[in-house]
Structure 1
Amino acid sequence: MADTTSSPPPAATAASPVTPINLVLLSLFVILVYFRLRPAKPQTLPRAPPPTVFRTFTPPELFPYNGLNGMPVYLAVRGQVFDVTAGRQFYGPGGPYANFAGRDASRGLACGSFDEDMLTKDLDGPLDTLSDLGEEEMEALRGWEERFLEKYLVVGKLVAVGSEEAKAAAAQK
């Protein structure tokens, strides 16, 4: 005879919260909280450029500041020497205004010409007085000078070789 009594059904057990999917979710949560709350790295400021000292330049002293050999790019406009290194792509080697780097750019900027004949050939000679320029050319030069004053730092002044200012600057060195 067959036993008609059946075994009681298994007791309902509570599902364990420790399942593989819950462990994965908990791990992701812990990782996200860690990345959200971890201390940030201290921010470091970029290095400041070396200080620029206002100085007196003669044309031969200005000439090496043409952007070659890691030198900064300077140019002079109406006796003021500007550090145009930030505009190296324009005034440095290979730039459209590269002829002016390390030189007095006044005449070329006033005349809107980048030709070599706009540059002073004799670096030991007198500075270009620009006295033969017309009012329109002088107005163009003033516009360039204002633009440089807005964008670039004046780092010195240009004086002729042998002038009293050049002698005084040489004595201070």
Structure 2
Amino acid sequence: MSDSKGHVQEPKNFAPKVPVTLDPPKSDPITQDYLAKCDGTHEGYPTYVAIKGKVYDVSNKDAYGPGGQYHVFAGKDASRALAKSSLKAEEAVPQWQDLDDKEKTVLEEWVTFFSKRYNVMGVVQGASNL
């Protein structure tokens, strides 16, 4: 899902290839500190990616773990990077409200993509980018 220029390809097909059974979404508050430890490098912690304040459990996907092509998103709210189809660490931040309409549409597509594949574990405590 990334091209030769280091851009994330926008999701085109939202349905998973293999059916996924998801748990009901949780709304537990998840602190920034805890989220940061959920980057796949801390033993005993899951691997999480947040988008627009919602926290998704991506623990079962190697792509988000250390050395994975999407590890840059792990342990943080990567809304801006996903909206911009970017793999740059400095863009893996929660702020997305100032983006153009096309980028906001891409972000919504990523929310749909993640929502169909990964359990929602909670909401980033104090998130202002919902």
TM-score by length of 1: 0.54
Alpha-carbon distance change, 53 to 144 in structure 1, aligned in 2, over 3 angstroms: closer
Q: Is 1:109 matched with 2:109? A: no
The range that moved more, 62-71 or 76-85, is 62-71
| C-alpha RMSD over aligned residues | 2.1
Q: Is 1:153 matched with 2:119? A: yes
Q: Distance in 2 between matches of 1:68 and 1:77?
A: 20
Q: Distance in 2 between matches of 1:106 and 1:137?
A: 10
Q: Distance in 2 between matches of 1:138 and 1:119?
A: 15
Q: Return structure 1 stretches of 4+ with deviation > 4 angstroms.
A: none
Q: How many residues align?
A: 103
Higher relative contact order (CA 8 A, sep 6+): 2
Q: Which runs of 5+ in 2 are unaligned?
A: 1-24
Alpha-carbon distance change, 158 to 142 in structure 1, aligned in 2, over 3 angstroms: same
Q: Is 1:76 matched with 2:50? A: yes
Is the CA contact (8 Å cut-off) linking 2:83 and 2:103 kept in structure 1?
yes
Shift of 1:93: 0.8
Q: Distance in 2 between matches of 1:149 and 1:101?
A: 16
Alignment of 1:1-173 (within 5 A): 54-70=27-43, 71-87=45-61, 89-120=62-93, 128=95, 130-160=96-126
SS at the partner of 1:133?
coil
The superposition leaves residues 99-147 of structure 1 with CA deviations (integer Å, 9 ceiling, x where unpaired) of 1111001001000111121034xxxxxx52x221011101111111101
The superposition leaves residues 19-52 of structure 1 with CA deviations (integer Å, 9 ceiling, x where unpaired) of xxxxxxxxxxxxxxxxxxxxxxxxxxxxxxxxx9
TM-score by length of 2: 0.71
SS at the partner of 1:151?
coil
Higher-Rg structure is: 1
Q: Distance in 2 between matches of 1:131 and 1:148?
A: 19
Q: Which has the higher helix share?
A: 1
The one-letter amino acid paired with 1:65 is: C
The one-letter amino acid paired with 1:75 is: V
SS at the partner of 2:68?
coil
